Amino acid sequence: MTEGVGAGGAGAPVRLIGADEDDDVVTMAQGRSRPAWAEIDLAAVAHNAAVLARLAAPAELCAVVKAHGYGHGGPAVARAALAGGAQRLAVALVDEGMELRQHGVTAPVLLLSECDRDAVDTALAYGLTPTLYSLESIAAFGVAANASGHRITVHLKVDTGMHRVGAAPEDLPALAAAVAREPMLVLEGVWTHLPVADGVHEDDRTYTEGQLDRFDALVATLNDAGIATPLLHAANTAGTVAFPRARYGMVRCGIGLYGYLPGESVQRAFVAQSDGPAIGAHPGTPGAAALRPAMSLKARVVAVRTLDAGERPSYGRLRPLPDRSIVATVPIGYADGVPRALFTGGYHVLIGGARRPLAGMVTMDQIVVDCGDDATVRPGDEVVLLGRQGGEEITADDWAALLGTISYEVVCGVGPRMPRVVVNRPDPSSA
């Protein structure tokens, strides 16, 4: 489909084309005048949220929609996740929370890190729930809440082994007591983060279990001191699937919301708790409880030429064509999130339902594809870089395997000048 391709012009605001006005995505860069786009299946997001919510129940599902909804479009993804059963949202930045509010999202929004002092008033003005882990931030939010005249809920984060941000375990009681002394602050949640819940080694599992033991002990210490901890949370997607004890009162799912599970051990754990495959099943098929990738990356052939064997297309002239071949040019490149390393990794795209190798190095705005002797390839033909075509599928996990990275980086890396086109919306009757 070509909806959205060619609409607008340079400098025009880019939206999730095909979505309702309330689902607009602001600040995405231009690029709609060329035939390349990312398709966003919001029904898949809602489905994934429903699957994760059922798995985690009775814990609440908090949908992590930071980084512009992992590249899918923050406000639209938030709405879809809430339609699927998420009860809360989480973001990394105050600006991300502001964007949700500006698009009418009213669900609770948790900030996953302390914000700068100069953003405290903004966070309160937009009704965002702060995560705190320092006396300075507790004091700053206490002052701001007093000035506003409104009591606000806050969460405390404790570092049980991620060693990135969060309070030192020995400091948690003092921080909780400091929150209790602030008349306009209410301690709603205490949480931690699990860095190796997706690990394949027994040491990883032992480490995660140790984190949860430490977390439980810290919570018990707070409760013994008379400090209530109404909402506990520790699990990311991996923790939600692989460590049922980590679900507590809420889980924070990110990558699972977008249709991927982080690693084989988590995928196996998911299958063990369901009746089908972990990823990729579609409605009406066995194992329809599987997660569904929500992003496809597509373009159209813009030029076709025949080159003799031995010709070396693209920058660097790195590889000779093995035979006389039809070579297709496709207007998408590394500025759009298609890494150069895919060429050296042996990446294929889909054209006409068949896998076709790259004929030369990925460039900033274009790729060239070796279509062999297939003279049926024409300008205008659809090219799939991520997604399904015919009986073939390319996933973010496939890219990650070639690139030595993870699916998170692949979907987040799809560039801002790629328009996001809605192809499916949640079914209200299934929410």
CA distances from 78 to 63, 180, 239, 328, 418 (A): 7, 32, 21, 37, 20
C-alpha span between 205 and 207 (Å, rounded):
5
Residue 299: both structure tokens together: 């373009």
Q: Which of 66, 70, 258, 408 is catalytic?
A: 66
Residue 49: both structure tokens together: 């949220």
C-alpha span between 263 and 4 (Å, rounded):
34
Residue 240: both structure tokens together: 């939600």
DSSP code of residue 285 = S
Is residue 315 flagged as an active site residue? yes
Query: Could you please report the per-residue DSSP string of 14-44?
Result: B--BTS-GGG---SBPP-TTSSEEEEEEHHH
C-alpha span between 345 and 336 (Å, rounded):
18
Do 306 and 329 touch, CB atoms closer than 8 A? no
Query: Could you please report the per-residue DSSP string of 219-262?
Result: HHHHHHTT----EEE---HHHHHH-GGGGTTEEEESGGGGT--S
User: What's the one-letter identity of residue 71?
Assistant: G
Q: Which of 298, 315, 334, 347 is catalytic?
A: 315
Positions marked active-site? 66, 315
